[in-house]
Amino acid sequence: MTRNHPDVTLLAHNYVRPEVQDAADFVGDSLELARLATRTATPYLVVAGVDFMAETAAILNPDRTVLHPEPCSSCAMALRLTPGDVLAARAAHPDAAVVAYVNTSAAVKAEADICCTSANAVRVVNSLDEDEVIFVPDRNLAAYVAARTAKTIHAVPAIGCCPVHQALTADEVRAARAAHPGAEVMVHPETTPAVQAVADFIGSTAAMIRRARETPAATVIVGTEVGLIPRLERDSPQKRFVPASPYLVCPDMKMITLELVEAAIATRSPVVTVPEPVASRARTALERMLALPEA
């Protein structure tokens, strides 16, 4: 799509519609998109994903213009947490560092010490000097990290979760396994601990793509947003991928249509702006994450 617009790079998340992924210059998870946003040179970046992803690209690229095709496309988990919640948690745990999952608003990132994604959350937490960590806003990812670190993790808010991944049940996973004997079950760390306990592999979408290439299983049950499945099929065409549940659909990711992407490129709008000093403070937390060595 951007062949006719050499001044534009289109970045798409693994969860957006397959036709948008097909049109993109790069497709990836949150960490890959954050890194790619800083490694491309075009004056315009179009982010096909939810609003925090476009904000992140704008924060990391203050000299470039970032377009978000549908500003109404917001992460329901990010909406559950305010900067005031972070400040209250800091007051309750004054010795703790604050780690903000990238699925947060710019205003929340501005109150954090460092950001993380599902791909690097354990490494980020273990990189800190502090023995206590306030982890926002996904309680399931917080529990996943807590099981893999010696540090004390305070999950804030106690109800924080992704409604899409939270809805997957261990019974649905068991039913999918029974329907596909011999299949490997991969789930995202945003799923509940009960679901993670019955999975064979837990990882970010990028980790799932790598695991899908390596597994000897001919069929893989996928416990994350269904948008990843066409990507897995393209990447490992000899294998079969089935959703752990048909309900693993993020409506906000699906708001990003090809028509809206085309309109954003044609009109060079809507432009994403993050005001100062929020942008500078959020950039510090993001750049601290990006400065960690890649796994």
Cα separation, 218 vs 239, in Å, equals 5
Q: Toward ligand SF4, which CB reaches closer, 76 or 143?
A: 76
Could you tell me if 126 and 149 are in contact, meaning their C-beta atoms sit under 8 angstroms apart? yes
Query: Between vectors from CA 194 to CA 191 and to CA 200, what angle results, nearest 5°?
Result: 75
Q: Toward ligand SF4, which CB reaches closer, 16 or 60?
A: 16
Cα separation, 12 vs 28, in Å, equals 7
- Only one of the segments 55-63, 145-153, 159-167, 192-200 lies at the binding site for ligand SF4 (rule: CB under 6 A); that segment is 159-167
Q: To the nearest whole angstrom, how small is the minimum distance from the Cβ of residue 4 to ligand SF4?
A: 29
Could you tell me if 159 and 135 are in contact, meaning their C-beta atoms sit under 8 angstroms apart? no
- What would the x/- binding string for ligand SF4 be over residues 232 to 261, using CB under 6 A? ------------------x-xx--------
Q: To the nearest whole angstrom, how small is the minimum distance from the Cβ of residue 77 to ligand SF4?
A: 5
Q: Would you count residue 145 as binding ligand SF4 (CB under 6 A)?
A: no
- Only one of the segments 19-27, 36-44, 74-82, 199-207 lies at the binding site for ligand SF4 (rule: CB under 6 A); that segment is 74-82
User: What are the respective helix, strand and coil percentages of the chain, to the nearest 5?
Assistant: 40, 15, 40
- What would the x/- binding string for ligand SF4 be over residues 36 to 55, using CB under 6 A? --------------x-----
Comparing CA positions, the residue from 80, 75, 113, 74 lying closest to residue 96 is: 113
Q: Which of 75, 98, 217, 256 binds ligand SF4 (CB under 6 A)?
A: 75
3-state SS class at 165? helix
Token couple for 159: 């109800």
Cα separation, 151 vs 118, in Å, equals 17
Cα separation, 17 vs 21, in Å, equals 6
Q: Would you count residue 29 as binding ligand SF4 (CB under 6 A)?
A: no
Write out the binding residues for ligand SF4, residues 92-121 only, by CB under 6 A: 103
Q: Which of 225, 232, 265, 274 binds ligand SF4 (CB under 6 A)?
A: 225
Q: Toward ligand SF4, which CB reaches closer, 65 or 105?
A: 105
What backbone phi and psi angles, to 5 degrees, belong to 85? -60, -40
Residue 116, Cα to own-chain centre: how many angstroms? 9
Q: To the nearest whole angstrom, how small is the minimum distance from the Cβ of residue 3 to ligand SF4?
A: 28
- Only one of the segments 81-89, 161-169, 228-236, 278-286 lies at the binding site for ligand SF4 (rule: CB under 6 A); that segment is 161-169
Q: Toward ligand SF4, which CB reaches closer, 75 or 187?
A: 75
Q: Would you count residue 76 as binding ligand SF4 (CB under 6 A)?
A: yes
Q: To the nearest whole angstrom, how small is the minimum distance from the Cβ of residue 272 to ligand SF4?
A: 16
Residue 169, Cα to own-chain centre: how many angstroms? 21
Cα separation, 93 vs 151, in Å, equals 14
Cα separation, 84 vs 88, in Å, equals 6
Residues that bind ligand SF4 (CB under 6 A): 15, 50, 75-77, 103, 162-164, 225, 250, 252-253
